[in-house]
Amino acid sequence: MGVTNMRLSQLLSLILAKTPLSVEVPDSENVQLDAPESLFSIEVHHKIGDIVADACRRVGLTERGACGFGEFVAELATGWSTRYSNETDILALDASFGRAAYGSPTEVIRLYLLPNWDALTEHLPAIQRGIAAAFEDAKLL
């Protein structure tokens, strides 16, 4: 039997595993994600962006780098575009992700489009590689 649901904290820990980030998800924000399509929510986008940006600040990223990386991870998970005017930064991080994950700067994945949580296992190594590369570039913002 496969994975039928996941908490937001579990998902973030999995996809950020190759970065030095430690996410702190308050209980009130640690939503139950019954299926990947649960990620397609503007509220979840905001939660992810804020939680990841806070983790980035704790490891010393600039505000631009922290917000950019937080929004990049939120967009990767939810499909919703950035809520800030930092689209150029997000596109650069997307390109870093694509090169490291799939060998092409134009290749991306959106987690909310996965058919189920079991499918995450298949993509997780590439996702982790891509996120780690994007994090390295976010440190330069």
Distances (CA, A) of 22 to 3, 39, 43, 131: 23, 20, 21, 14
pTM of the model: 0.94
Per-residue pLDDT of 37-78, as tens digits, reads 999 999 999 999 999 999 999 999 999 999 999 999 999 999
Per-residue pLDDT of 83-137, as tens digits, reads 666 889 999 999 999 999 999 999 989 999 999 999 999 999 999 999 999 999 9
Three-state DSSP class for residue 21: coil
Tokens 């058919």 -> residue: 115
